[in-house]
Structure 1
């Protein structure tokens, strides 16, 4: 799960990004699962808000799957795609997939579930379809946050190889798609540092959330600044 920077059109990709909420929505929207929701007021989205001084709306729900089509799941936010409230946003930050693998295939033989989320070439599946839809509907820059490597004692240890493959495909998709970014939380989480993990060996500790949130805030700010650099100075 190495970070791969998206290849973006500098003059058009981020031109609309400001810290002023666009019509009908807001500035930064977060969708996802418990990694985004963990630690309450010290969760990753709250850290991003503090680091940037910007408005961040967190719709992430513990246990959420990326592709959970049941009516009840959608109603309470357990379907990550259904967490989207509509409106226009400057940034939409998304994570997910681990709960899909756990529920669909028990983190075992998951090839079919992986392919349903995103195809081998990264161009089809529910993940790229949703990210493209977000771009079209909101005008936002869309950032996918990759998972970090957790402890081998954690309940998702068996999902590791499939999650690496999913994120490799998402990174490839992002590199080819203007306005879509892949950022890997693993770049700042050292699995050897137990202080970055909660007691379940899966979720981040408050210090882990702080480290990831600061990193994502840095990446959002840096990519906006990059987009505003005149082409002649590149």
Structure 2
């Protein structure tokens, strides 16, 4: 099972500045789950870099959506817009919660889910993004959400996100070089120390645990 997670924040202008390109290796894109704890240098991307001792460029942003409109794209709130030109060895990505929350209010979201990814996992904005990363030579790791039982954020989104991630896992099972990691297998909902004060986003410990799990998968796959 996965989670209804995401972003409740408007992106600050500083986060919209272009990000300098680093050495070719790993890039992280997605929403606030990826970006949380960045001000302390302890976000998921920073943990991956520390665990692997490899350069990681994180462009994840608060409020980001897979299917963002033109205005959101200008603020770098389109997750596909976060992906720089490669080549990259790995692209670590997440997303979908803001799409459901902002486009359909987490209810009657069948059309939005279909636009994100078809039942067989082969068609939609998410497969398109994964294919684009693979075309740059990258292996792709999609990070699923975790369950945050005490949150009231985007209430009602969980069933839709579970379905989206079921489809992504189906895609990963049928395409070489694509991997699905469920953060729900990493964080333990009964442990409040895994969550920040908003009870939605990961605490520093939560980001550390997730980042370490991502790093471990990358290390095992080379």
TM-score (norm 1): 0.83
Question: Which residue does 1:46 correspond to in 2?
Answer: 46
Cα shift readout 1:73-92 (whole Å, capped 9, x = no counterpart): 22321000011111200000
- Aligned Cα root-mean-square deviation (Å): 1.4
Question: Which residue does 2:140 correspond to in 1?
Answer: 142
Does the Cα contact within 8 Å between 1:25 and 1:89 map onto a contact in 2? Answer: no
Question: Which residue does 2:19 correspond to in 1?
Answer: none
Please identify, of 190-199 and 72-81, the stretch whose mean Cα deviation from structure 2 is larger.
Answer: 72-81
How many residues are matched?
201
Aligned pair 1:65/2:55, yes or no?
A: no
Shift of residue 152 of structure 1? Answer: 4.0
What is the correspondence of 1:4-43 to structure 2 with a 5 Å cutoff? 26-40=24-38, 41-43=41-43
Does the Cα contact within 8 Å between 1:118 and 1:126 map onto a contact in 2? Answer: yes
What residue ranges of structure 2 are gaps of 5+ in the alignment? 3-21
Does the Cα contact within 8 Å between 1:151 and 1:157 map onto a contact in 2? Answer: no
Question: Which residue does 2:82 correspond to in 1?
Answer: 83
Does the Cα contact within 8 Å between 2:150 and 2:200 map onto a contact in 1? Answer: no
1: CA distance, partners of 2:86 / 2:221 = 22
Cα shift readout 1:70-112 (whole Å, capped 9, x = no counterpart): 1x32232100001111120000000000000000111111111
Does the Cα contact within 8 Å between 1:60 and 1:77 map onto a contact in 2? Answer: no
Question: Which residue does 2:116 correspond to in 1?
Answer: 117
Question: Which residue does 1:195 correspond to in 2?
Answer: 193
2: CA distance, partners of 1:150 / 1:36 = 15
2: CA distance, partners of 1:147 / 1:48 = 17
Question: Which residue does 1:10 correspond to in 2?
Answer: none
Larger radius of gyration: 1
What residue ranges of structure 1 are gaps of 5+ in the alignment? 3-23, 225-234
Question: Which residue does 2:163 correspond to in 1?
Answer: 165
2: CA distance, partners of 1:101 / 1:148 = 16
Change (3 A) 1:118 1:25: farther
TM-score (norm 2): 0.87
1: CA distance, partners of 2:90 / 2:59 = 13
